């Protein structure tokens, strides 16, 4: 039972690190970001706040639920994919906002979206509704990846 408590803490720490570290760079150098040409399909800024509130909440809830329900092997796999995908997402924020390496940032975010697929599958196998609740997060990452690639194309035009 103690390993489940550790897994819950790990899941929560991953979400807190994700929320905290990704915001460090996103909130800096806004002048540069605002000067970029925007992809036509970019949603209004308010949508970003709502999407991330949902994403962080659902990632924490599902992390806890799976930590309490899953057997150790699939849980370790889920948490590993989650942690690695978060590293890719945080790397995107740094690459995009600090050195402005848009291609590398887009690759990183695309990797993050790809790494989320096994998370959805593993969650779905344990409880279909956990996997279903991750689908909007997956869709958001795919959308964000397409936006990131859109910035690449627009800034090279």
Q: How far apart are CA 81 and CA 67, in angstroms?
A: 14
CATH number at residue 51: 1.20.1260
Does residue 92 lie in a domain region? yes
Task: Give the Å distances, CA to CA, from 122 to 56, 66, 115, 119.
Answer: 18, 9, 12, 5
Q: 64: how many CB neighbours lie within 10 A of its CB?
A: 17
Does residue 51 lie in a domain region? yes
Quick one: pLDDT at residue 97?
Answer: 92
**Residue 54 tokens, joined:** 């949902």
| Tally of domains in the chain | 1
**Residue 102 tokens, joined:** 């848009």
Does residue 35 lie in a domain region? no
Does residue 15 lie in a domain region? yes
pLDDT in tens, the chain (157 residues): 699 999 999 999 999 999 999 888 776 667 888 899 999 999 998 999 899 999 999 999 999 999 999 999 999 999 999 999 999 999 999 999 999 999 999 999 999 999 999 999 999 999 999 999 999 999 999 999 999 999 999 999 6
**Residue 30 tokens, joined:** 């806004």
pTM for the full model?
0.94
Does residue 34 lie in a domain region? no
Residues in the chain: 157
Does residue 132 lie in a domain region? yes
Q: What's the distance, Cα to Cα, between the start and end of the chain in Å?
A: 56
């Amino acid at each position: 039972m103690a390993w489940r408590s550790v897994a819950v803490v790990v899941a929560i720490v991953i979400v807190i690190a994700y929320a905290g570290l990704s915001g460090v760079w996103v909130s800096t150098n806004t002048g540069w970001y605002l000067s970029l040409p925007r992809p036509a399909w970019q949603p209004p800024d308010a949508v970003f706040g709502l999407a991330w509130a949902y994403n962080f909440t659902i990632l924490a809830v599902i992390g806890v639920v799976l930590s309490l329900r899953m057997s150790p092997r699939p849980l370790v796999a889920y948490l590993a994919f989650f942690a690695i995908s978060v590293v890719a997402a945080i790397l995107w924020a740094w690459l995009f906002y600090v050195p402005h390496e848009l291609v590398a940032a887009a690759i990183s975010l695309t990797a993050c979206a790809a790494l989320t697929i096994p998370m959805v599958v593993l969650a779905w196998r344990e409880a279909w509704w956990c996997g279903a609740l991750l689908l909007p997060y997956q869709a958001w990452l795919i959308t964000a990846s397409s936006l990131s690639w859109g910035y690449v194309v627009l800034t090279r035009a």
